[in-house]
A and B are shown apart, each in its own frame.
Chain A
Amino acid sequence: MLALQLTITGLQTGALYALTAVGFSLIFGSTRIFHFAHGATFIIAAYLFYFVNVSGYGLFLSVAAATAGAIIFGLLLNRFVYVPIQRDEGSFFTVFVASFGVGIVVQNVVGMIFGRGFVSVQTPLSFSVELMDGLFVSPLAWISMLCAAVFFGALWYFLRFSTMGMALRALADNPELVRVFGLNPRFISACAFTIGSILVVPAAIISGATSGLNPAMGHHVMLISLAATIVGGIGSVPGTLLAGLALGLAESLALLYVDSQWTEAVTFAILFLFIIVRPSGLLGRSAVH
């Protein structure tokens, strides 16, 4: 029963990891921008949802505010930080440092506005129900998995069949060719930031209810996203999805075999294993030299 419990818990955690990581992977895969401030997007969405919700504006407006905040932040960051750096042919490292700096600024600004302590979204959906002897599952666990399925289904359909989806994939493959076809890479990049930022919103809202929030949690979110992106194969959205789920499951099921203090280390042990054995990741393409 403990194994079943830990599997369900792992799937819930994995769904949230996957939602966060796929947003990062989509942005990185399409634009080659190391968007470290993706963790800051998570924080902004989570705190906006919390603030609007506790102010009594209801679920719909809270979700709308969180989504709008995440999109606006992503677009502004792209337009006023990444584009100017890239225009001056700034290196990959310059973009990374700028993004890292923005993440720290956001952490401090959120701390100043909402307080630096712990807050959580109070909802009866976070309380577990005993389904059978020793098996407790909260409604939010099912909602997490459902959200992941719906968002990834929609993303798959969008990338596969829409013109913009194909343009995003083309941008990842060959930006020069995109220009040749008369498409605007900057506009496509903005679309990548919009979709990547939207994907983080359900994970941010659900985390606010299950584990609570503090302004410093963005870095942890980013670490997991990065690990899932590398394990899944850099730029591969399905790979990142699978890796996110696998990391969540591994972190939870590790409790069956190792002491609790090592569960987080399992995530990074998997990461190192992939870097050594299969550097291209689960579904990534091997580089040809």
Chain B
Amino acid sequence: MKKIKKLFATLSVISCVGILSTGLATAADHTIGALFPLSGPNAVYGDVFMSGSDLAVEHINADKMLSGPMSIAYEDSQGLPQPAVVGMTKLVNVTGVPYVLSAFTGVSKAISTLAMRNEVVAVNGGGVGPDLAALGKYFWNVIPLVNLEVRAAMPYLVKERGIKRVVLIYIDDPFGNSILDELKSSLEGAGGKLVETMSVPTTAQQFSGIAAKVRAEKPDAVYIASYGAQQIQIVKQLRDNGVDQQLITYSGFLVPDALALPETEGLIATGQGVNYKSDDPVTKRFVTDYTAKFNRAPTAYNVNYYNATLLYGILAHALEAEGKDVTGANLLTKREEMGSFDLVGGKVSFQSNGTLLFPIQVKIVKDGKPEVLTTVDFNK
């Protein structure tokens, strides 16, 4: 009996030490959450997003910006609202994070109410639906939204490239429908015409029939508004099935898998303008370390999630310096207080709707790389 008591006593002491040491570590640790597509047809983005956020964590920890080591708790959203809400609930209620990285329009809209209700900051660096600018004060965007991309591209394409008749192929979800609305008004405003619109279900994989309908319309260009593996399938199948018109799309297309496809050659895409050659130390360090670590040039998505993570480091550092708790509410107050931030691409500030404003570039894919055709700065 004594032996059993001793055993229980020993185990209790070990448990207490364990709990205390964990508690002590947690007090100094900084964990933020991330809801990225890590499986399913949108998983192509997961690695791209993580490469940016992980590099920022490395830099924050190397600089000892915070009182303890920082880490990211990743949850698999699959790029879909339902798994994202499950992941967000876990991050908020179990992991207890004050700050969550989000991606995809549908996902971001689905988790925004949880973010607002629990006073957790959600930062989007990948979704571009225009609705994302109106999801409340706890939802921030470090990416320009797609309405700006379409608004920037259409006047250039109509006037400089003589593109008047456009067919739109769009995914049947909030993101695709927002592009439809924006394209209608931007194209007509620029003197062009949307001659046909074709929506596709999120699960569709066969587009040879759609290609036949596109050919029958004889447009000057085809605008593709989809994401993940599907948008690459659309481009491949349009080209394979005799659609030789100009293809146009948005920033979501410019991922390594798509650029590696021969059928992508000549495609025009818009995207946020980032001056990778800037002399500011944040940009220089990011570009140098990213290129060295991943053996490829960074893209806007890498920049966005680096910036979103670094932003947490800057805000949490400022809060800790003042002896305040790092909570969602305090992070929001601090962001509004500080106003502008030194991030990759230079000094940036948020608009009143919580969205960063970047210049928009119109690019063409040549030899598997996007080349800038023109830059539109809405700040000017």
Name B209's contact: one of A220, A263, A265 (CB within 8 Å).
A263
The reply to whether the CB of B59 lies closer than 8 angstroms to some CB of chain A is: no
Q: How far is the CB of A27 from chain B (nearest CB, A)?
A: 23
Query: What sequence of 0s and 1s flags, for each residue 177-218 of chain B, a beta carbon within 8 Å of any chain A beta carbon?
Result: 000000000000000000000111101111111111101100
Residues of A at the B interface (CB closer than 8 Å) are 1-2, 5-6, 9-10, 12-13, 107-108, 111, 115-120, 122, 126-128, 130, 134, 136, 138, 210-212, 214-217, 220, 251-252, 255, 259-261, 263-265
Contact status A2-B212, CB under 8 Å: yes
Contact status B201-A261, CB under 8 Å: yes
Q: How far is the CB of B79 from chain A (nearest CB, A)?
A: 10
Contact status B39-A122, CB under 8 Å: no
Give Cα A138 to B239, complex, Å.
Answer: 11
Give Cα A122 to B320, complex, Å.
Answer: 54
Query: What sequence of 0s and 1s flags, for each residue 95-116 of chain B, a beta carbon within 8 Å of any chain A beta carbon?
Result: 0000000000000000000000
- Contacting residues of chain B (245-262) with chain A, CB-CB under 8 angstroms: 255-258, 261-262
Q: Which among A118, A128, A130, A215 has the greatest number of chain B C-beta atoms within 10 A?
A: A118
Q: How far is the CB of A74 from chain B (nearest CB, A)?
A: 23
Contact status B232-A212, CB under 8 Å: yes
Contact status A128-B43, CB under 8 Å: no
Q: Which residues of B contact A120 (CB under 8 A)?
A: 236, 261
The reply to whether the CB of B83 lies closer than 8 angstroms to some CB of chain A is: no
Give Cα A58 to B241, complex, Å.
Answer: 25
The reply to whether the CB of B46 lies closer than 8 angstroms to some CB of chain A is: yes
Residues of B at the A interface (CB closer than 8 Å) are 38-41, 43-44, 46-47, 169, 172, 198-201, 203-213, 215-216, 229, 232-233, 236-237, 240-242, 255-258, 261-262
Give Cα A122 to B237, complex, Å.
Answer: 12
Contact status B213-A118, CB under 8 Å: no
For B43, give the chain A residue with the smallest CB separation: A116
Name A261's contact: one of B172, B229, B237 (CB within 8 Å).
B172
9 contacts between A and B (CB under 8 A): A119-B257, A134-B215, A211-B207, A212-B232, A220-B203, A252-B209, A255-B209, A255-B212, A260-B213
Q: How far is the CB of A36 from chain B (nearest CB, A)?
A: 17
Q: Which residues of A contact B213 (CB under 8 A)?
A: 2, 255, 260
Contact status B199-A111, CB under 8 Å: no
Contact status A260-B233, CB under 8 Å: no
Q: Which residues of A contact B256 (CB under 8 A)?
A: 117
Contact status B41-A216, CB under 8 Å: yes
Contact status A118-B257, CB under 8 Å: yes
For A108, give the chain B residue with the smallest CB separation: B39
Q: Which residues of B contact A108 (CB under 8 A)?
A: 39
For B218, give the chain A residue with the smallest CB separation: A134
Contact status A220-B205, CB under 8 Å: yes
* Known A117-B255, A120-B236, A261-B200; contact A211-B206, beta-carbon cutoff 8 A: yes
* Known A117-B256, A118-B258, A252-B209; contact A128-B39, beta-carbon cutoff 8 A: no
Contact status B233-A211, CB under 8 Å: yes
Contact status A260-B210, CB under 8 Å: yes
- Interface residues of A, dominant DSSP: helix
For A213, give the chain B residue with the smallest CB separation: B229
Contact status B212-A5, CB under 8 Å: yes
Q: Which residues of B contact A9 (CB under 8 A)?
A: 208-209, 212, 241
Q: Which residues of B contact A210 (CB under 8 A)?
A: 208, 237, 240
Give Cα A142 to B199, complex, Å.
Answer: 28
* Known A117-B257, A120-B261; contact A126-B240, beta-carbon cutoff 8 A: yes
* Known A210-B237, A211-B237, A261-B200; contact A255-B210, beta-carbon cutoff 8 A: yes
Q: Which residues of B contact A12 (CB under 8 A)?
A: 208
Q: Which residues of A contact B240 (CB under 8 A)?
A: 126-128, 138, 210
Give Cα A136 to B204, complex, Å.
Answer: 21
Contact status B229-A118, CB under 8 Å: yes
10 tightest Cβ-Cβ pairs between the two chains A and B = A116-B43, A117-B44, A136-B242, A117-B257, A261-B199, A214-B229, A260-B198, A5-B212, A118-B229, A118-B232
Q: How far is the CB of A106 from chain B (nearest CB, A)?
A: 12
Q: Which residues of B contact A6 (CB under 8 A)?
A: 209, 212
Q: Which residues of A contact B39 (CB under 8 A)?
A: 107-108, 111, 116, 216
Q: Which residues of B contact A217 (CB under 8 A)?
A: 41, 205, 229
Contact status A251-B209, CB under 8 Å: yes
* Known A2-B212, A5-B212, A259-B198; contact A130-B44, beta-carbon cutoff 8 A: no
For A5, give the chain B residue with the smallest CB separation: B212
Q: Which residues of B contact A117 (CB under 8 A)?
A: 43-44, 47, 229, 255-257
Contact status B212-A214, CB under 8 Å: no
Q: Which residues of A contact B41 (CB under 8 A)?
A: 214, 216-217
Q: Which residues of A contact B210 (CB under 8 A)?
A: 255, 260
Give Cα A66 to B209, complex, Å.
Answer: 28
Q: How far is the CB of B265 from chain A (nearest CB, A)?
A: 13
Q: How far is the CB of A274 from chain B (nearest CB, A)?
A: 21
Give Cα A220 to B206, complex, Å.
Answer: 11
Give Cα A138 to B240, complex, Å.
Answer: 8
For A1, give the chain B residue with the smallest CB separation: B216
Contact status A211-B205, CB under 8 Å: yes
Give Cα A95 to B241, complex, Å.
Answer: 41
Q: How far is the CB of B241 from chain A (nearest CB, A)?
A: 5
Contact status B258-A264, CB under 8 Å: no
Give Cα A167 to B363, complex, Å.
Answer: 62
Q: How far is the CB of A141 from chain B (nearest CB, A)?
A: 8
For A140, give the chain B residue with the smallest CB separation: B240
Give Cα A46 to B252, complex, Å.
Answer: 26
For A248, give the chain B residue with the smallest CB separation: B206
Contact status A214-B44, CB under 8 Å: yes
Q: Which residues of A contact B46 (CB under 8 A)?
A: 116
Q: How far is the CB of A5 from chain B (nearest CB, A)?
A: 4
Contact status A264-B242, CB under 8 Å: no
Q: Which residues of A contact B229 (CB under 8 A)?
A: 117-118, 212, 214, 216-217
Q: How far is the CB of A174 from chain B (nearest CB, A)?
A: 39
Contact status A118-B233, CB under 8 Å: yes
Contact status B208-A13, CB under 8 Å: yes
Q: Which residues of A contact B208 (CB under 8 A)?
A: 9, 12-13, 210, 252
